[in-house]
Chain A
């Protein structure tokens, strides 16, 4: 290959590297800087602690989450809570675990609804939309 040919190849490589670096920097900053990721983690942790608090309550009770959760899909299982946004991959879904006493159950889901309520009725915990 002559000098001109090499120059063109190098120029293409230079452009590709610069574009790659700029794209990765922006996409990484976007992923980490987005408040949605942080909110997702905080929401899952809050629900985890709400479950633990309700389990400690000797009577029936219900708690309304003080925030708008309409962007999230929330699923409560027997041993965990999962929070994610439409289009999230498996590794972007946030799961928090908890341990329920024997005989207790936890169930419920909330898909893109504004108000989240967690209700304890006897030994059953329900995650649902607030009435």
Chain B
């Protein structure tokens, strides 16, 4: 029984051998082709992947907007919109662009003006504001920096804005330092 099984196995091995490499070497061409096409397939797939990679980089360059520009456009609202920090004359309703009303320069007002989504807001621009020597004070009398809800002190770049601060009837020219955090 075992002998017959072994015979069968040997015969099968021989027949496989015959199909791939017979005496004339006819099977060699087929084996060579299969090796060639295995390598060619891998190279072709790699070429297609490389092509996708190159096109993606190229397309990225075509649609690139500088983060400084995008941040600058968002920042405009803080110093120009009276619903953010911009000063508006109560009598004439005229808005003074680039003039910050110190009464409006509060965390509450900032949150009303720019409040990215709580859970995904870190994927967009976030800002920290430093109004030199005119920042609001905390309970212990220390200056605090205003910050948007997803600002985690991860500063990508800083933008400086020359502004005028109106405190009652006093006008003080100063610099608003804005720390910009791009998506994390």
Q: Is A87 in contact with chain B by the CB < 8 A criterion?
A: no
Seen from chain A, the residues whose Cβ lies within 8 Å of a Cβ on chain B are: 1, 3, 6-7, 10, 13-14, 17, 21, 24-25, 28-29, 32-33, 37-38, 41-42, 45, 49, 52-53, 55-59, 79, 97, 99, 101-103
Please report whether the interface of chain A is mostly helix, strand, loop or mixed according to DSSP: helix
> For A102, what are the chain B residues with a Cβ–Cβ distance below 8 Å?
112-113, 115
A-B contact count (CB 8 A): 92
Q: B70, A49: Cβ atoms under 8 Å?
A: yes
> For B174, what are the chain A residues with a Cβ–Cβ distance below 8 Å?
none
* Residue with the greatest number of chain A CB neighbours at <10 A, chosen from B37, B77, B95, B112: B77
How far in angstroms is the closest Cβ of chain A from B56?
7
Q: B37, A13: Cβ atoms under 8 Å?
A: yes
Contacting A at CB under 8 A, from B9-30, are 19, 26-27, 29-30
Q: B19, A1: Cβ atoms under 8 Å?
A: yes
Q: Is B41 in contact with chain A by the CB < 8 A criterion?
A: yes
How far in angstroms is the closest Cβ of chain A from B178?
14
Stretch of B58-66, B128-136, B137-145, B165-173 contacting A (4+ beta carbons < 8 Å)? B58-66
Bound: A14/B36 CA distance, A: 10
> For A79, what are the chain B residues with a Cβ–Cβ distance below 8 Å?
117
| Choice from B41, B47, B76 contacting A56 with Cβ under 8 Å | B76
Q: A45, B65: Cβ atoms under 8 Å?
A: yes
Q: Which residue from chain B places its CB closest to the CB of A40 in the assembled complex? A: B63
Q: Is B146 in contact with chain A by the CB < 8 A criterion?
A: no
Bound: A102/B59 CA distance, A: 35
Given A10-B34, A38-B62, A52-B76, A99-B84 contact (CB < 8 Å): no
Q: B59, A38: Cβ atoms under 8 Å?
A: yes
Bound: A32/B29 CA distance, A: 40
Q: A101, B83: Cβ atoms under 8 Å?
A: yes
> For A21, what are the chain B residues with a Cβ–Cβ distance below 8 Å?
44, 47-48
How far in angstroms is the closest Cβ of chain B from A31?
8
Q: B48, A58: Cβ atoms under 8 Å?
A: no
* Residue with the greatest number of chain B CB neighbours at <10 A, chosen from A7, A10, A79: A10
> For A3, what are the chain B residues with a Cβ–Cβ distance below 8 Å?
26-27, 29-30
Q: B63, A41: Cβ atoms under 8 Å?
A: yes
Given A10-B30, A42-B63, A25-B48 contact (CB < 8 Å): yes
